[in-house]
Structure 1
């Protein structure tokens, strides 16, 4: 399957002579000099406490160099990599091109491959350097705004599947299916064995499905719902989402760029704002292709599942379901929830949920801040049909667009994502996070060969 991390990367040309080229050369030389002692250290698992501290000092010094270079030259870097913004490079493509054009700035393909051979706690943490790059690019209204727009382009796989989907009204991507029923495009999560926990593959497939919903003229409303589970504790019951797959995180299989950044700037951004106009100022209409979205929450929406609800136009929840953002337990930043939750639920409730781990049950008096309709579990199918009919009304699309202009200006989102880029990269390697995901993986009975196990029930009730 073609993903956002498997496309070829265009090679940038040589840097023009001048101060920018001199600064890039100085960065490369400085990184080489400072990183040289790392080669004399054993792998991270075999380092003494003193060697661990030495490695940390080396990385800190190198990251200071990278941050300083980018603070002065991020716009130049982006414009060079994109040939003056004529190339529309995705996140992984941009990072790979930067590794080639600016040695030492971000990890090379080989260094990332080496990282993937280790569990999370044994990595050097080179993804943090990618976080520095994207923080400094996204800070800039020009370069960052261009990148945010690029990441709302339809995926190559969706474009390849579009004609077939238009003809059949159904596509099976593996962990995600999409079916056109009436005016609704029903996107169903099928990561059944692990309670629809999110992993790299699920995220890539969700983006393709979202693109197809937006591109297909026969669909007026997108719908998200979880399939019935095969997990022993929930067998035969629908579940919306158990959030990030902590076992995959422990085993080093959750990509910072392809998962944690891509989901926010890719398919979630597309659900909220639609597909881009590909930078065309003369496009008509001036906005991209947008459609309203509804979510049907069966069982629970944990972590990333709740994050999705914050961009929905209608949320229907079964009476026995609940929502949660267990950021305090997991130790990572819950996507753009910190940006959106306070607006919807109020600052105090947002802190209770994010910092205190409070669950919001469908029957909670404050659930109405996040849920539009609570129904008997047996009535969910009918409620979803009614929601599609309601959101397909002609005036909905224009009004949701105007609401979004008021509620979440794109520049505010871009600025949030700039800070998120580095904050989340650092959290991925926090000692508390490494300890928690390691303990979770042990509890869930991870196989000795490193295969990701199904989340234990404790994850689903964190």
Structure 2
């Protein structure tokens, strides 16, 4: 569908011309690994005014662009699909699929930073109440992969994905994370597997509650022990293999939103009156829940932890933003303790007084599984499902979530390419080569 011949078309033509000129200036410089500091400043100087223009363009025309791409919000593309369609519709606003694919193959330290343009776009889409609400609903729709596997899972009650095992036992779905070679560290692939498993548990009418737990590890230091999560996979981050759309932003709007708010049925009348299909979740934490692992705990209804487990959010030390944790932890802990955890890197042990705000039950390590299952059985009730929805609305109103997600979309993209993060990437890569 073409853009209407209004001021939007004129502004789009101007943006395309300015973007082409910027690309020419960047192409005249050496590739990023070989640039001097002066050449990098020249690249930044070329990009800055064009990015400002993109931001102003989205402030003026963002809703019309979004409506055009989504056929007046009758379709709900996921983030990557939305980017591809918008890049084709408005040249210069977003990098096209070929450029993004080429950039994704590069190590983080030598990427040009194309995801910053994605951050500009998503910030303005999410800031708009109409477009933002529609995008958030679209991201809570079941994934095509989950829909393709649903019949088999309903029939067998078990499914093996690459990094996740899903099993239905009675009315409880057990989601076991088993990214064994890296202590359940988060990757783009793990996020996709986990979202698929959560979708299936929510879609299966025989499931009334779910339990999330880490598998037994093969790592020499933790062999035979269960680990909940080691947080983001830093090797993948430094190698440029952590996707902005499919992981850093997509995880917040997809997987974690589904754990907290459930699936969105959209306009399908067969879903009425339950437009949201949500179920209670219990997290069983063995050993540690670091980074994104701790973020998962902020989305579930009940947390059972081993008494020797601990929790931390080291994103500030890594240089990035810990997803929605700044929003959710503040509601849970208050501002002062949240600052100590996120800004100062404070770790919380399951036996610490502060852990009572994060854990519902702290038990001996050998009792974690049984206690978590008992909690899931208690919560497996239609009345619980309805009331958890109302609690979530009170605790995290949708507009507050959308406003936070809007700023997060750009801030996280900028952090990925900030000087301090890239310096950490360089030092990590150097240490890896020396090891």
Q: TM-score range by the shorter chain?
A: over 0.9
Alignment pair present for 1:79 and 2:79: no
1: CA distance between counterparts of 2:434 and 2:231?
18
Q: CA deviation at 1:281?
A: 8.4
SS at 1:186 equivalent: strand
Aligned: 1:21 with 2:16:
no
Structure 2 distance, partners of 1:293, 1:267, is 13
8 A contact 2:266–2:275 mirrored in 1: no
Kindly report which structure 2 residues correspond to 1:211-360, keeping only aligned pairs within 5 A, or say none: 211-279=199-267, 284-360=272-348
2:373 to 379, 385, 393: 385
| Alpha-carbon separation, structure 1, partners of 2:178 and 2:268 | 36
Offset at residue 414 of structure 1 (A): 0.7
2:93 to 102, 105, 113: 105
Contact 1:330 1:437 in 2 (8 A): no
Tell me the residue number matched to 1:435: 423
Give the Å deviation of 1:16.
2.1
Measure the CA separation in 2 of the matches of 1:143 and 1:271. 22
User: Which residue of 1 is the match for residue 386 of structure 2?
Assistant: 398
Measured on the aligned residues, the alpha-carbon RMSD in Å equals 1.5
Please say which of residues 113-122 and 418-427 is displaced more in the overlay. 113-122
Name structure 1 gaps, 5 residues minimum. 1-12, 448-462
Aligned to 1:100, the other structure's residue is in SS state helix
Partner of 2:173: 185
Q: How far 1:442 moved relative to its partner?
A: 4.4
* Conserved? CA contact 1:128–1:422, under 8 Å: yes
Q: What is the SS of the residue equivalent to 1:210?
A: helix
Question: How far did 1:287 drift?
Answer: 3.3
CA contact (8 A) 2:109 2:425 kept: no
Query: So what's the TM-score if we normalise by structure 2?
Result: 0.97
Any idea what SS the aligned residue of 1:188 has?
Answer: strand
Following the alignment from structure 1 to structure 2, what is the Cα–Cα distance between the partners of residues 264 and 446?
35
Counterpart in 2 of 1:418? 406
Q: Normalising by the residue count of structure 1, what TM-score does the alignment of the two structures yield?
A: 0.92
2-side partners of 1:173 and 1:373: how far apart?
Answer: 30
Q: Is the 8 A contact 2:280 2:376 kept in 1?
A: no
Matches of 2:47 and 2:270 in 1, distance apart? 46
Inter-CA distance 394–147: structure 2 relative to 1 (3 Å threshold): closer
1:451 counterpart residue number: none
Equivalent position SS for 1:301: strand
* Matched ranges for 1:53-72 at <5 A: 53-72=41-60
1:162 aligns with 2:153: no
SS at the partner of 2:264? Answer: coil
**Equivalent residue of 1:434, what SS?**
helix
Q: Which moved more, 1:285-294 or 1:168-177?
A: 285-294
1:267-313 Cα deviation digits (max 9, x unpaired): 11011111112146895224311100000000100000000000110
- Aligned mate of 1:32, from 10, 13, 20: 20
Counterparts of 2:154 and 2:84, CA distance in 1: 34
How many residues are aligned here?
A: 435
Taking the aligned partners of 1:17 and 1:343, their CA distance within structure 2 comes to: 46
2:357 matched residue in structure 1: 369
1:412-445 CA distances to partner (integer Å, 9 max, x unpaired)?
A: 1111100000000000111111222333344456
Whole-angstrom CA distance in 1 between matches of 2:11 and 2:269: 34
- Partners of 1:76 and 1:56 in 2: CA distance: 29
Out of 129, 132, 148, the residue aligned to residue 144 of structure 1 is 132
Q: Which runs of 5+ in 2 are unaligned?
A: none
Alpha carbons of structure 1 residues 255 and 353: separation in structure 2 relative to 1, 3 Å: same
